Copies of this chain bind each other. A is one copy, B any other.
């Protein structure tokens, strides 16, 4: 990706946590490496970046299916979330990290509760993450205040932890679940500590209309009026937008996390990406939580992103394979303000690298590398995962986590939660 194209017979060298060489294998002969990894028959890509998820929700995979967003949240998810303790969060987060490693994701943006526990899971797993403690507070001032403080405290305390692999954002849930006073304070705090925000924006038509009716403006306009968009913003979904909204997102340099699978699954629609990118909006890709997806597989999300866009515009030329891969790598890095350190295979960048094993029937023949990665490969084709220069998976065997124990703990936790034992 450094040359914006693939290099055949290529080689890549890493020293400590950084890439020190990318180029032809013939030119790498003189490099004296301690560990050598033969990548013959494999393709190296930058580690995939998942720009929007709620990783502890991996516990809830399949728990409430084929339901409306509203009842899904209110009747199933929120009551269960009310019961979650830190040890449950740990079990869910570790399972999510394990799934991400095994499907080639090296960095993810999470927003949830007990993010300190998520940070520890990230540290243990070897992954990179941008974490935000969620804030909700529309009517209950005390709750909002408490969550705001927790989010700010978390952002300050955990930024740079796990050897710099964890960075932080503030996590105001959305414009409709936070009061304007709270949102103003969030942005002020973010600016004060040099941070940004991760939030949901314009997720469903119903909410869009309700908000517009109650406040007289759209979510985006409302946020702009209270000067909320004056700093780094990662906004997930962005489905229901007016023309004016789109221009505002572009002018304010808002980063959009496009979440095709969960959006389709919940029947809430699909973001019109072309209008956004034509205006210069940076768009990354996200899976959302596994309770509404139901995987954390960014390969699947890449393919479905391309399919949904081609469907929306009735045009197969929209969002070609290469652009999708860029969304899942360098553009994702940009959305998380990590574009100077990850998102591409360049000398000087941190070594977050994924090797895809293409010696499989569904990846033959290899006429078009981008197409085979985006349209034919699956998460399970990832063979090696390197994060921050460390090999955390080789031969599909994860080195940082005990897969069996992580799965067992998560299963037990999920069962206990459902049976009210937790």
Enumerate chain A interface residues (CB-CB to B < 8 A): 59-63, 65-69, 72, 95, 98-99, 102-103, 205, 261, 263-270, 290, 293-297, 300, 303-304, 306-308, 310-311, 313-318, 320-321, 359-362, 364-368, 370-372, 375-376, 378-381, 403, 406-407, 410-411, 414-415, 418
Contact = CB atoms under 8 A, between A and B. Distances in A.
Contacts of A303: 300
Contacts of A361: 95, 98-99, 102, 403, 406-407
Contacts of A72: 316
Can you tell how many copies of this chain the complex includes?
2
A204 B410 CA distance: 46
Contacts of A65: 320-321, 368, 370-371, 375
B410 A261 contact: no
Q: Which 10 A-B pairs have the closest CB atoms?
A: A62-B368, A62-B371, A365-B414, A264-B307, A66-B320, A294-B375, A267-B316, A380-B380, A99-B361, A62-B367
B304 A376 contact: no
Contact of A61 (B205, B370, B376): B376
A68 B317 contact: yes
Main secondary structure of the interface of A (DSSP, over half): helix
Nearest to A266: B316
Given A68-B317, A365-B62, A310 B407 contact: no
Contact of A265 (B296, B310, B410): B310
B372 A311 contact: no
Nearest to A292: B316
B69 A264 contact: no
Given A66-B316, A69-B316, A364 B265 contact: no
Contacts of A59: 365
